[in-house]
Structure 1
Amino acid sequence: MKNLLTRTLTGILFIVIITTAVLSGAYTFLFIFGIISLLGYIEFINLTQFGRKFDKILLMLDMAGACALFLAVFSFSGQLPYNFQKASILTYVIYLIARPVTQLYSTPEKSPITSWAYSILGQIYVVLPLALLGVWGYKSDYQLFMNTEYLLMALFVFVWTNDTGAYIVGCTLGKHRLFERISPKKSWEGFFGGLAFCIILASLANYIIPGMLSTAQWIGMGILTSIFSTWGDLCESLLKRTAGVKDSGKILPGHGGILDRFDSELIASPVIFIYLTFVL
């Protein structure tokens, strides 16, 4: 009961923070999701280094690179001054040059190339997708004729709906394992339950947020979100299973770490970015 209460309170606080970040404007999103992406990146580094003691200078450099990448990508939303965009892109390019050079002079280790590769991979896997959310969620060209932050909020609602539907149907009807090698508890019944919940919600979206997308476009977004958020969950499970841990971190009591809460968005975000690029 105590654990359930902890999970519930953390879940409510999480929803409040995300909703506030998305609906309070581009700069609030930039601040909150900038912190989230950095914390998620640190979790990824900790997981992939398998507890090995890593060079603090490299870690600080990688964190700076992650911040520069987030700002550089977000700047394409048009919400930041052009000079700031140039500065952030230039900073990230400098990081890409400095990272391998610094590796040469770091503490000798068994696999320096692995350390270098994980640093860049973490930025692509964690930071880039979260920054892309801000690009299409607040793109100035789109906001001339629609409130695109509502589309961004819809992505999160679809993910939460998919998780809820998969859990309810999976717990009651689940018999056939979806991907037992990676996630023994997930079932095909749960997957189709989450997909059905998303399609139902998408069918009603025009009544909730009129004038954004057609019903067919909403359904397309709901289906893509359901499928790719499930893959996102499985990919993060693969990461944790490889690292031999249950949760990616402990920052969210009862829920684990940042990656545990945003694993779905890390894969779904780029897909919805591509989808909306062609739809809008």
Structure 2
Amino acid sequence: MKNLLTRTFTGILFIIIITAAVLSGAYAFLCIFGLIALLGYVEFLNLTRFGRPFDQVLFVIDLAGACALFLSTFTFSGQFTESLHWASILTYLIYLVARPIIQLYVSPDKSPIAGWAYSILGQVYIVLPLSLLGVWGYNTEYQLLYGHPEYLLMALFAFIWINDTGAYIVGCTLGRHRLFERISPKKSWEGFFGGLVFCIILAACLNYIIPGLLTTTQWIIMGILTSVFSTWGDLCESLLKRTAGVKDSGRLLPGHGGILDRFDSELLASPVIFIYLTLVL
């Protein structure tokens, strides 16, 4: 009961923070999700260390690279000045060149290529998808055409939350057939389709809740894509944790684990929905 109360309180606080970040504008989103992306990136670096020694210099350099990537991607929304846009891109390009050179001069590492590769992989897997959320959520062209594109961003989070809720409820009551037992023994096909149905029901209502952004058909397609790819995102993060031999990616969120445990769905859903909305808007 104590764990359930802790998990519930953390979940409610999490929803409030995300909702406030999304609806408070581009700068609030940049600060809050930039911090989330960095914390998730740190968790990833810790999970993929696999016994390699910790090097403070490389750690700081990688964090700087992650910041530059997040900002340079986010500036494509058009919310920031042209000078900041190009400065952030240039900074990240400098990082890409400097990172392997610095690797030559740091303390000896039996797996230098692994450390180098994981530092870039973490940025592509975590930082880039989270920054893409802001590109279309606060796109200045979309704002002129549709008024409030951040409502689309809020809808994405709503789809992910309702998918998790539907999968949990149906999976706990009807789950019999394992979805991917090798990676996640508790997930079931019944739970997956339960989450999918919940997303479709929400999508059918969104044209009335948020009129003027997408048609009902487009909402339904977005809901289906989010359900499918958020499930894959969850499974991919489970594979990462299983490979690392840990239960949770971190301990930052009581009752939920780490940042990656809460944002695993967004990591694959975000690029897919970015592509989808680019095609339909």
Aligned to 1:67: 67
Per the alignment, residue 92 of structure 2 pairs with 92
For residue 80 of structure 1, what is the aligned residue in structure 2? 80
Deviation at 1:145, TM superposition (A): 2.1
Alignment-derived partner of residue 22 in structure 2: 22
SS of match in other structure, 1:186: strand
Specify the alignment match of 1:202 in structure 2: 203
Task: Give the secondary-structure state (helix, strand or coil) at the position aligned to 1:184.
Answer: strand
Structure-1 separation of matches of 2:22 and 2:51:
34
Count of equivalent residues: 280
* Correspondence for 1:165: 166
**What is the root-mean-square deviation of aligned Cα atoms in Å?**
0.6
Look up the match of 2:2.
2
Task: Determine the C-alpha separation between the residues in 2 that align with 1:17 and 1:91.
Answer: 30
Cα distance in 2 between the residues matched to 1:275 and 1:172: 33
Structure 1 residue aligned with 2:154: 153
Alpha-carbon displacement from aligned partner over 1:215-235 (angstroms, at most 9, x marks no partner):
000000000000000000000
Q: Offset of 1:106 from its aligned partner?
A: 1.1
What TM-score do you get using the length of structure 2 for normalisation? 0.99
Give the 4+ runs in structure 1 shifted more than 4 A: none
C-alpha distance in 2 between matches for 1:264 and 1:108: 36
> In 1, are the aligned partners of 2:53 and 2:109 still within 8 Å (CA)?
no
> Which residue of structure 1 aligns with residue 108 of structure 2?
108
Using the alignment, how far apart are the partners of 1:105 and 1:145 within structure 2?
51
Letter in 1 for 2:268: I
Cα distance, 1:53 vs structure 2: 2.7
| In structure 2, C-alpha distance between the alignment counterparts of 1:60 and 1:226, rounded to whole Å | 36
Q: Distance in 1 between matches of 2:238 and 2:56?
A: 27
Aligned position for 1:216:
217
CA displacement at 1:51 relative to structure 2: 4.8
Aligned partner letter, 1:100: P
Aligned residue number for residue 267 of structure 1:
268
Distance in 1 between residues matched to 2:5 and 2:231, nearest whole Å: 26
> Cα distance, 1:211 vs. partner?
1.0
State how far apart, in whole Å, the 2-side matches of 1:51 and 1:214 are.
51
What corresponds to 1:134 in structure 2?
134
Summarize deviations over 1:81-138 as a string: whole Å, max 9, x none: 0000010000000000110000001111110000000000000000000000000000
| Alignment of 1:34 onto 2:14 | no
Q: CA deviation at 1:50?
A: 2.5
Q: How does the TM-score come out when normalised to structure 1?
A: 0.99
Q: Distance in 2 between matches of 1:75 and 1:116?
A: 26
Counterpart position of 2:256: 255
What residue ranges of structure 2 are gaps of 5+ in the alignment? none
Matched, 1:193 2:200: no
Give the distance between the partners of 1:125 and 1:38, measured in 2 at CA: 12
Q: Secondary structure at the match of 1:50?
A: coil
Q: Percent identity?
A: 77
SS in 1 for 2:155: helix
For the residues of structure 2 that align with 1:163 and 1:115, how far apart are their CA atoms? Answer: 33
